Structure 1
Amino acid sequence: MNKFLIIADDFTGANDTGVKLTEKGTPVEVVFSALNLNPSSSCVVDTETRNDAKNVAYGKVKDIINTINLDDYDIIYKKVDSTLRGNISDELMALTESYDPDYIVFDPALPSLEREVVNGNLLVSGEHLKKTEFAHDPLKPIENENIKKIFEQIYPTGLIRLYTLNELRNKELVLDLSKRYFCFDTENDTDMARVVHLFSGLKGKILWVGSSGLIEELINSQNEYNPSIALVGSVSEKTREQLKCAEKNGLSLVSLPIYQIYSSGDYSRYVKQITNLLKQHKDVIIMSSASYDRNELHKTRRLFKKDGICDEQLGSIVQTVLAGVCRKVISQQKVSGIFVTGGATAKGLLSMVNAEKTIVKEEVALGMPLLQIEGGEFNGINIISKAGAFGDSSLLVFALKKLHSYEKR
């Protein structure tokens, strides 16, 4: 794997980028002085300049960079805060003068925490950054929410290019390499992966600038991993919120019409759809149609009631359909692991594949254990389980990413 040199302006930022490397099995150290750098491995330098005066931050970063042999590293990354706090333009200028990159790529979005860039402006949970509490930080208030304007403070306007969402998502897009300073609108992880892909194989030195989101996609682009799948049968409002967040972050959702499948006894079309998505290296959420749409819940209950099936029996049918689809999919396509909402759904799956037991490995997050299946058809596969009605909106996105990182451990 490539060696990374990450320059962060505070300790927490240094750690939340460094941990992205360790999750992929790459050792990384956070150092407080460039004199402590180990050029044989990836490193993060904590400059502690976020709340310094502009000229002080510039001078510190310039001095640090000038003591490092940048040729020892494959990727140079400037970590910035996902709400644009700190002396971004000043530190970028110091890095640019010392490193002299051919191109600079700026994308501070962090979709998993609802930090997006739209029309060049950073939004937090859909609200303009300048209208949030981050804009009034007592130590370092936000000066600018527009990433193109941050570039314009230090670089020639004619060499700057902002790509909108429509442009970025155009599969025919070719970078305008007459420019040097690139910034991007980004709403989800798929957008961010597209940014990284655009620069893959490009000759010349690149300075990457972003939060922990962009570096995660950079690391993912260099690591082979199998996609993950989730099984969702819960119909709680919390689950619907998590599904919509996952959809917004570019995950593929496959909705199973439970009554239709129950009536026909055939779910082969859905197995084919899911398998095709996994082959495209996409994480997939397999869900009952009622999990996403409240109207589907009422419709499904009504149809089953006509057949004399009560809600308790309906729950068992949902679990059987989800488990059956998952079993068939995994017989055809390898995955990093499975995330399951609801203990009954998880137990139904384990019973169907004749698992003998699970080994508790660790707690991924509060109330979310990582297990390894022993025995049966899914022997050795990692599974994360949680109760249906808890967790923040980004939990599904978080869990599927976690399964990637656990695959090679």
Structure 2
Amino acid sequence: MVFLLIIADDFTGALDTGVQFAAHGIRTRVVVEPDVDFNAHEAKVLVVDTETRHLPASQAYGVVAKLTGRAQSAGVSYIYKKTDSALRGNIGAELSALLRASGCRYLPFLPAFPQTGRITRGGVHYVDGVPVTESPFGIDPFDPVKHSVVTDLIAQQCDLPVRSFPALAAGDRVPQDEGIMVFDASDDADLYSTGCQLLDHGGLHIMAGCAGFGAVLPELLGIAAETHRTLPKLDPRLLVVCGSVNPITLAQLDRAENAGFTRLRLTPDQKLEPGYWQSKEGREELTRIGEMLAANPHCIIDTNDPGGNRPTADYAARLGIDRETLRVRIAGSLGHLVGEIFPSPSLGTLLLTGGDTLLQCMSCVGVRELEPLCELENGVVLASFTHNGCTRHVITKSGGFGQESLLTDLAARIARH
């Protein structure tokens, strides 16, 4: 019986929250299936990736409202709306959908993820010490964050009452406001103490936040461990497949290339021409990629152009495609590429960065469910899946997570283990 349902809007976010439970030995599954059959899952924690981040707000509302209603009918004890830790996506629409569909009076929202430098203070959301709109997420080419004041961001898509509150400590009066309540948090202690007060004074049947608040929920909700997790032995060969344009990831790629990783940048036609990998030219390129993997232990396949993405933008303009189509085609091309090279014995350990990239790559391989195992770094998740009867592993991360040396550090760690 599913005890806790986590509703995420993208695949990497689903994993970085689900792993908070898996790391405690709690059986957790991540699925890409909004119409999931709750009775078919034995996992105590079920994470559903609704793929609603880039949908129109009204459609995202409908998907979350329907899933919430079905969870209520199935008797799920707790529902957690996982949001992006940098506040991207249809946050206002999805929070209001959860609140209205649940029939509850209020929805507590704790958006901070202190372990990755993302905190909420005075109702303002900060990333590494600056308001989120002044961070790289404020200039995201596909989903720029336009408000640092969390209540303003929610109100843009929501007509419910929304108010901001400081973190709660033992003995503090717990607000009883109707609507969405946004709580500050500067560290994990703030998240836990606020959660305790809320749980003791009205319960947490519904709640919202990112992986930060998710990390305190196993203890807060008293979910017992079921298994003991150990890090599996991974192939020391590492292939990084990058579909992210986040400057944090770009710095990681540059650092890895300078340290000896072999880097292949896909050309605009490889990324944007439908059916490229099935063409004669594409098949020849796949052969060269296979040779690259066989000859080099650490490789990168990157969708970013050298010196910026102007060549790809110009190519897209000549094709007459808009920014959303650009995003979908690039992710789809990466998915087909990974699907083609997946059977190669030279593939090694696969690291995928970016939610769109992960979704398309797994879809082209034929995988719709992952089991998170552990975090290798904050926000960097090791997961397993079954393919053709064999257990395989994949490392995933959002584009905005990790220190500059992340890829080289991971390669060294995998080799040592």
Equivalence for 2:206: 207
**Is 2:118 the partner of 1:115?**
yes
Q: Quick one: structure 1 residues 392 and 219, their matched pair in 2 at CA, closer, same or farther if it must change by over 3 Å? A: same
Identity fraction in percent: 31
Q: Secondary structure at the match of 1:200?
A: helix
Q: Residues of 2 paired with 1:205 and 1:164: CA distance?
A: 18
Distance 1:115 1:64 in 2: 28
**Does the CA-based 8 Å contact 2:139-2:145 persist in structure 1?**
yes
Matched with 2:164 is 162
CA drift of 1:147 comes to 1.7
- Once the two structures are superposed, residues 103-129 of structure 1 have per-residue CA deviations (whole angstroms, 9 ceiling, x without a partner) of 211111000100010111110110111
Alignment correspondent of 1:132: 135
CA distance in 1, matches of 2:108, 2:48: 20
Is the Cα contact below 8 Å between 2:8 and 2:81 reproduced in 1? Answer: yes
Pair 1:184 & 2:174 matched: no
Q: CA deviation at 1:91?
A: 1.4
Aligned equivalent of 1:142, options 121, 128, 145: 145
Superposed CA offset, 1:160-194 (max 9, x none): 442225xx35x431112244432111111111111
The aligned counterpart of 2:31 is: 31
1:61, distance to aligned residue in structure 2 (A) = 2.5
* 1:87 has 2:90 as partner: yes
**Deviation sequence 1:115-150 (CA, Å, 0-9, x none):** 010111110110111111101211111132222223
Tell me if 1:99 matches 2:98: no
In 2, Cα distance between equivalents of 1:64 and 1:131: 34
Rate the CA distance shift 1:216–1:363 in 2: closer, same or farther, 3 A: closer
CA distance in 2, matches of 1:364, 1:198: 28
The verdict on how the C-alpha distance between 1:197 and 1:26 changes in structure 2, with shifts beyond 3 A counting, is same
Q: How does 1:49-68 map to 2 (within 5 A)?
A: 49-68=52-71
Alpha-carbon spacing, 1:91–1:136, altered in 2? closer, same or farther (3 Å): same
Count of aligned pairs between the two proteins = 229
Root-mean-square deviation (Å): 3.0
Please give the alpha-carbon distance, in whole angstroms, between the structure 2 residues aligned to 1:363 and 1:109. Answer: 21
Larger radius of gyration: 1
Q: Alpha carbons of 1:139 and 1:174: their partners in 2 closer, same or farther (altered >3 Å)?
A: same
* Structure 1 position 45, deviation (Å): 0.9
**Contact 1:105–1:208 under 8 Å retained in 2:** yes
8 Å CA contact retained: 1:82, 1:108: yes
The verdict on how the C-alpha distance between 1:177 and 1:2 changes in structure 2, with shifts beyond 3 A counting, is farther
- Over 6 Å off, 4+ runs: none
Rounded to whole Å, the distance in 1 between the matches of 2:142 and 2:375 is 33
Alpha-carbon displacement from aligned partner over 1:343-399 (angstroms, at most 9, x marks no partner)? xxxxxxxxxxxxxxxxxxx99859xxxxxxxxxxxxxxxxxxxxxxxx969x9xxxx
Conservation of the 8 A alpha-carbon contact between 2:107 and 2:179: yes
* More deviation, 148-157/192-201: 148-157
Q: Which amino acid aligns with 1:22?
A: A
Q: Distance in 2 between matches of 1:155 and 1:85?
A: 19
The change in CA–CA distance for 1:365 and 1:5 in structure 2 (over 3 A counts) is: closer
Q: Which amino acid aligns with 1:31?
A: V
Indicate if the aligned counterparts of 2:113 and 2:211 stay in contact, CA closer than 8 A.
yes
Checking the alignment, whether the CA contact within 8 Å between 2:91 and 2:154 is kept in structure 1 is no
Asked if the contact 2:26/2:224 (under 8 Å) is kept, the reply is no
Correspondences of 1:280-291 after superposition (within 5 Å) = none
Q: For residue 15 of structure 2, what is the amino acid of its counterpart?
A: N
Letter in 2 for 1:6: I
* Structure possessing the higher relative contact order (Cα contacts under 8 Å, 6 or more residues apart): 2
**Residue type of the partner of 2:214?**
I
Encode CA deviations 1:272-311: one digit per residue, 9 max, x unaligned.
xxxxxxxxxxxxxxxxxxxxxxxxxxxxxxxxxxxxxxxx
Alignment of 1:173 onto 2:172: yes
Matches of 2:121 and 2:28 in 1, distance apart?
33
Q: Hey, what's the Cα distance between the residues in 2 that align with 1:35 and 1:364?
A: 28
Aligned to 1:47: 50
Q: What pairs with 1:3-402 in structure 2 (closer than 5 Å)?
A: 3-39=3-39, 40-41=42-43, 42-153=45-156, 154-157=158-161, 160-164=162-166, 168-169=168-169, 171-203=170-202, 206-221=205-220, 222=222, 365=376
8 Å Cα contact 2:174-2:201 kept in structure 1: no
Give 1:63 deviation, angstroms.
3.6
Deviation at 1:36, TM superposition (A): 3.2
Q: 1:36 aligns to what SS in structure 2?
A: coil
Unaligned runs of 5+ in 1: 226-361, 367-390, 396-409
With over 3 angstroms needed to count, the CA separation of the structure-2 counterparts of 1:63 and 1:129, relative to structure 1, is same
Per-residue CA deviations over 1:322-358 (Å, capped at 9, x if unaligned) read xxxxxxxxxxxxxxxxxxxxxxxxxxxxxxxxxxxxx
Task: Report the Cα distance in structure 2 between the residues aligned to 1:6 and 1:115, rounded to whole angstroms.
Answer: 20
